[in-house]
């Protein structure tokens, strides 16, 4: 008997789709940074955006929590749905969006405050009053930092190492209980050991969160992500399971990039 061809993957159910973009475009003045991007990000997966510098990875990431609103020149077209709700609909408060969809940046950016207050401050401005100390501990544990700082919560956060500062920023983002964590090259400023810790942490966090990460490092994308999107000159070229993208790229631009023929 002929072997049966493998069953095609069933399409995701709506409940699995956390974020969806429909013909998303961003222009800075006259220049198109990204155009016609339609993709779906599924629940509790780690999704990596890769591609050469300037291809639009950060611009795309910033759309997901309306960070581009803060850039006067940026014009967003198309739609982005978060749990089927239009993130850019009138009446949507960007502060609410950023609570549900947190962000960690390239350079660790702790507040000039104590380790404790770095997290407590964000909780208080977001209206949390109760159990602040418990939440601080819980967030620091979730970010794999508690054991290193529990005895010095009153110390200035800027005295931590770069890697610890970045984990503190992750703890700060987690404290307000987001569903999605956006990370823009979170290990760019870190040495290999601190980078490894962040990668291990992402591996732990994927149990509870949907994570979208921009990285210029293909090995990192291959190590930590479930799905990878390759962008080139503002276009989404290919988006699929990471292992398949790296072993079986369909587009010659993806292949050229991942084999190092084009960077
Ligand atoms: P990547 O993250 O892949 O390096 P970016 O999203 O940062 O790419 O940039 C995409 C394009 O948009 C680039 O041409 C970049 O110069 C431009 N760009 C990014 N941010 C701004 C900005 N704030 N103002 C004007 N142009 C920008």
CATH 3.40.50.180 fits 17-110+180-258, yes or no: no
pLDDT in tens, the chain (263 residues): 566 766 666 777 777 999 999 999 999 999 999 999 999 999 999 999 999 999 999 999 999 999 988 888 999 999 999 999 999 999 999 999 999 999 999 999 999 999 999 999 989 988 888 899 999 999 999 999 999 999 999 999 999 999 999 999 999 999 999 999 999 999 999 999 999 999 999 999 999 999 999 999 999 999 999 999 999 999 999 999 999 999 999 999 999 999 987 65
pLDDT of residue 134: 96
Output DSSP code: residue 250. -
Query: What's the 67 CA to ligand 1 centre distance in angstroms?
Result: 13
Q: What residues are in contact with ligand 1 under a 6 Å CB criterion?
A: 28, 33, 51, 53-59, 71, 73, 214
Cα separation of 181 and 170, whole Å? 9
Reading phi first (left if > 0) and then psi (alpha if -120 to 50, else beta), residue 106 is in alpha
Pick from 30, 49, 52, 59 the residue to mutate for probing ligand 1's pocket: most ligand atoms within 8 Å of its CB. Answer: 59
| Exposure b/e, 217-242, CB count within 10 A at least 16 = b | ebebbbebbebbbbbbebbbbbbbeb
Structure confidence at residue 262 (pLDDT): 64
């Amino acid at each position: 008997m002929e072997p049966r061809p493998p069953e095609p993957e069933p399409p995701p159910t709506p409940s699995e789709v956390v974020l969806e973009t429909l013909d998303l475009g961003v222009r800075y003045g006259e220049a198109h940074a990204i155009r016609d991007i339609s993709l779906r990000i599924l629940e509790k997966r780690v999704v990596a955006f890769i591609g050469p510098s300037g291809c639009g990875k950060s611009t795309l990431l910033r759309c997901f929590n309306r960070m581009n609103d803060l850039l006067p020149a940026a014009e967003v077209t198309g739609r982005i749905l978060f749990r089927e709700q239009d993130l850019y609909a009138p009446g949507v408060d960007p502060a609410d969006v950023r609570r549900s969809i947190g962000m960690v940046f390239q350079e660790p950016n702790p507040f000039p405050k104590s380790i404790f207050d770095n997290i407590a401050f964000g909780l208080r401005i977001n209206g949390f009053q109760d159990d602040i100390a418990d939440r601080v501990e819980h967030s620091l544990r979730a970010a794999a930092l508690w054991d290193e700082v529990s005895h010095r919560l009153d110390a200035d956060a800027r005295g931590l190492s770069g890697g610890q500062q970045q984990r503190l920023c992750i703890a700060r983002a987690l404290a307000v209980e987001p569903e999605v964590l956006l990370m823009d090259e979170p290990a760019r400023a870190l040495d290999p050991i601190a980078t490894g810790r962040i990668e291990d942490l992402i591996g732990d966090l994927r149990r509870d969160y949907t994570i979208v990460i921009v990285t210029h490092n293909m090995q990192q994308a291959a190590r930590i992500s479930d799905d990878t999107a390759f962008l080139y000159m503002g276009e989404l070229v290919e988006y699929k399971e990471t292992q398949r993208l790296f072993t079986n790229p369909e587009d010659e631009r993806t292949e050229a990039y991942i084999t190092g023929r084009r960077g």
